[in-house]
A and B are shown apart, each in its own frame.
Chain A
Amino acid sequence: MNEIFRGKAWSFGFRSAIMIYFLCLIVLPIVGIYTQSFSLGWTPFWESVSDPLAWKAVLLTLKLALIATVLNMLIGTMIGWVLIRYRFPGRSILNSLVDLPFALPTAVGGLLILLLLGPNSLIGMLAGKIGIEIVFHEPAIVIAMLFVTFPFVIRAIQPLLEELDRSEEEAAYTLGASKAKTFFSVIFPTMLPGILSGAMLAFSRGLAEFGAVVLVAGNIPGKTLVASVFIFGEIESNNPQGAAAVSVMLLTLSFLILWLVNQLQARRSTP
């Protein structure tokens, strides 16, 4: 079989299929968005972007996605560590449950948050008593982002931890290093590329989140309206240029992050 696929015609066919796929599904839509947003020239683009509601939405999204990412780095690192380093009943089930947010429609995630943390729920009521409002405020958005980006950091550090040879730690011990020193100078540097690349993916996914956020954010323009919901609103109110302008900002950010992730991974393979 292998021999057949190595033939010239097959090879050409495969490569063309991939190029066409790439062109139709990735390059064309992206170019479309850029042309759409600049279709009326720089000035309307600039106007759309400098609309306070637009850039406030983008800034809010950036801020909340950043918070969610930092939380993810902490929690994800801990969970990844526990799942690899500890043996306990239910570990493999927990390990497969990590991917649940990827499998679940994000709207379901949003609904879960509404039900669990909403004003009528126990937690929502308790939080309300001490003056914290979760749902329809920023905390809910962060929680929604946290929920959908949960697997990234965990899945990025797990292979690195598995690869880390136990004897590397033991070598550090025999060289006189304490457990803490060993963690910070041997284990943590091994995990760091995973934490960073996982965090960047989580960040760009957080920026883009719509389904879960739209249900719990309240979507008050200028206050709890995130970029993706803003785009949706612009389309609804028949303003594709406005939508495209914000899209371009998000897209450019995503590209930047993707490039950074690549740089990180390249450095990892040839340090």
Chain B
Amino acid sequence: MHIEVRGLNKSFGDFNAVKDVSFDIEKGKLIGLLGPSGGGKTSILRMLAGLETPTSGDIVFHGQRVNDLPPQERGIGFVFQNYALFKHMTVYDNVAFGLKVKKLSKEKIRERVMYLIELTGLKGFEHRYPHQLSGGQRQRVAFARALAPEPQLLLLDEPFAAIDAKIRTELRTWLKEMIERVGITSIFVTHDQEEAIEVADEIMIISKGRLEQKGSPWDIYKNPETPFVASFIGESTIVEDISILKGFESLSDQPGTKALIRPEYIEHGKPGEIKLASAATTATVRQLHFRGSEWMVELAIGDTKLITYRSLEREVLQVGGQVQVLVHRAYMFNDDDSWIMENPLKVDPMPIHI
């Protein structure tokens, strides 16, 4: 189902939960609504479902304005954060609920329910009650139940929040595969960027009720449009005065401009390890943190702190030692503008042609 949202607003009393949000979603896409908790993601999802009424704005499904349609008539499936399974019904009855409401024949219901139970890997659990299932199984039931009446749009509110970290990754992959297989347009809410990046075809970043950016995960990582997106996606350090770094001296005349530098933008090494020595700045190793698969290195250049990672294969650094630092690029921003700046010295000043 093609979804169009125009100028959506929602306020609870004085609090504006959603501010002027507009977007389009193509049929069959899997969209992640990503943002900090309390940012209005769930409100947007609930308005799409019809569980909440927008203060203003239009929601259009398939060219038809659905603002005034109750949730029963929107043709959506909703997976709740706590799954909201019917506690007094078995797995079978939970999945069959939406079909019984539609007054389908018993055989048809049975056929569809058994298909979904098989699809979600719940075979053998049909007669269990929700409290006899594990978190992951409950989520599968919630998913099967939402899919049973063949909705046009599947909405998932923090679908993995209540699941152990270990099974979560497994379930993520499972859900992505499942949604691809069913081919249903889906929107899920999450506050976990790793989850959004891994699962979604497209991410919408929501903060303080506003849509900050919409795009593919790679796009958002590569070209963050706002400082919020830049700092929210991936890891980063904010540098107040970037002109102390080699290659960025030209920015010393722009006092309001700050730089955001990701660890992966930084190359570091003992003197001699970096080939482009002319573009490198000397820094001191302030701290070393062991992170299981690599070292997290805290570097200091004057008062400026930078964070980067060092492979375990490389020679171990010493706290207090000197290293060379090459910053490949930085995400620059001030009050009016933001842009990505490549280190101009990276172009080898003395190319050797053979």
On A, residues with C-beta under 8 Å from B are 165, 167-168, 170-178, 181, 185-186, 189-190, 271
Contacts and interface: CB of A to CB of B under 8 A. Distances in A.
Contacts of A165: 82, 84
13 contacts: A167-B81, A167-B82, A170-B71, A170-B78, A170-B80, A171-B80, A171-B85, A171-B86, A171-B145, A173-B71, A174-B50, A174-B78, A175-B146
B188 interface: no
B352 interface: no
Given A174-B74, A174-B77, A176-B101, 4 more contacts: A167-B84, A174-B72, A175-B149, A181-B101
Contacts of A271: 87-88, 129, 131
B146 A174 contact: yes
Nearest to A178: B72
A172 B146 contact: no
A168 B76 contact: no
A186 B72 contact: no
- The 7 nearest A-B residue pairs measured at CB: A175-B98, A167-B84, A174-B78, A171-B84, A173-B71, A167-B80, A176-B101
A91 B86 CA distance: 29
Contact of A176 (B85, B131, B149): B149
B72 A176 contact: yes
Contacts of B98: 175-177
B289 interface: no
A114 to B, nearest CB: 44
Contact of B86 (A173, A174, A178, A186): A186
A245 to B, nearest CB: 42
Contacts, number: 68
Contacts of B129: 271
A178 B98 CA distance: 11
Contacts of B70: 173
Category for how many chain B residues contact A: 20 to 34
Contacts of A190: 87-88
B353 interface: no
Contact of A174 (B71, B85, B102, B131): B71
Nearest to B129: A271
Nearest to A181: B101
A153 to B, nearest CB: 19
A177 B101 contact: yes
Nearest to B76: A174
| Residue of B49, B51, B84, B146 with most chain A CB atoms under a 10 A cut-off | B84
Nearest to B77: A174
Contacts of A176: 72-73, 98, 101-102, 149
A175 B97 contact: yes
Contacts of A185: 86, 97
Given A167-B80, A170-B51, A175 B87 contact: no
B88 A177 contact: no
| Residue of A165, A175, A177, A181 with most chain B CB atoms under a 10 A cut-off | A175
B84 A170 contact: yes
B97 A177 contact: yes
B82 A173 contact: no
Contacts of B84: 165, 167-168, 170-171
Interface string B8-24: 00000000000000000
A175 B77 CA distance: 7
Interface string B95-116: 0011001100000000000000
Nearest to A174: B78
Contacts of B81: 167
Contacts of B101: 175-177, 181
Interface string B127-149: 00101000000000000011011
Contacts of A170: 51, 71, 78, 80, 84
Interface string B271-315: 000000000000000000000000000000000000000000000
A175 B51 CA distance: 12
